[in-house]
Chains A and B, each alone.
Chain A
Amino acid sequence: MDHSNHLFRFNASMLRLPKSAKLRAFGVYLSGALFAIGFWSIIDSAVYSKSVNASDVHVTFIDWIPFICSTSGMLIVNSIEKSNLFQDSNTTNFMSGGNTNAWAARVILFLGFSLLAGGLAGSFMVFIIKYLLKHYTFPTLGMGVSNIVCNACIMLSCIVLWLSQNIEDEYSYSLAL
């Protein structure tokens, strides 16, 4: 690898992730668990609003929109083939169509990340506008808090899954240059 290609002085290979298949499997399990925590947190807020809610505020479809955004963003981000992304756009590759493929992958990945971030921001927005600005006290406020917890957990699960998919085993080496 020639060193003129790097943009920054500290290149990313200095902080390479530890290579282990066990760690990778654990990360995948952990991401599923985090997603479950988020999912059940928002289900909890919906059931709470239906069963023991004393106030007149209820969970409506508006509260579900950030969850839907985050989940679809997570689906998009993690179903992208990652070897498409790092094809260098400057080099002329002889295989036809590789460059447009990389561009499509980047655009779709950007869409996925913006859906994830939009989900988290939307949960904060629902919390502030629907609950915090109307000065509700805590048992009612908990429905908004669990919405934030849900979206934060889904985002964290996506991060954990992304990181653990970048962990390589000791034996396999990637042939995609």
Chain B
Amino acid sequence: MNFDFDLIVRSFPLLLVGAGVTVQITAFSVSLGMLIGMFVGIARLSNTWIIKTLAAVYVDFIRGTPLLVQIFLIYFALPIIVGQRIDPFIAAITACSINSGAYVAEIFRGGIQSIDKGQMEAGRSLGMTWGQTMRHIILPQAFKRIIPPLGNEFIAMMKDSSLVSVIGFEELTRRGQLIIARTYGSFEIWLSVAFIYLIMTFTISRLVDYLERRYKIDDKH
């Protein structure tokens, strides 16, 4: 086998552009996913039957179906209902955020439930509303505890975002495919693609480690 190192050098700039797009999708999706996840996670703990049930249905549906199918549903099936083509970027971010939101919701729910219930009682006994206690007392404490699983979710999303290549969206994986179609350099390109993913996920996991340590020190004062 001939290993064409020059091909890697020549393709690298193009792959990096794709990597930038991957970072973009991931950042958007995880941010939106966190927002969705926080509200849905809280909703799952609601005392109101209908809110709790809707949240549970959402989480179960998303976690029970493949992300790939969810992407198809949004990109191919939704336009039939709304009668309008959906931009691949919008479709990619929508599918990924909705997907991420369900997993983040479970992370938030676990984090909130891990806080001693005396904290909520102390807040309520001082006359604070449920929402005020959530915001000032429960969520700040829960957030510190869920940094590691949120980091995992970030990394998982970054890897899963490769699935949006199927709707022709040119992130890292799709860029690789396109280059291979032109050059037939399967081995070199897939190796490069894998390497770039690895560098990105490794960086995130170091960042999360750092945040976790910093909050631990913060905790001790």
A, B co-complexed = no
B residues with a Cβ closer than 8 A to A are: none
A residues with a Cβ closer than 8 A to B are: none
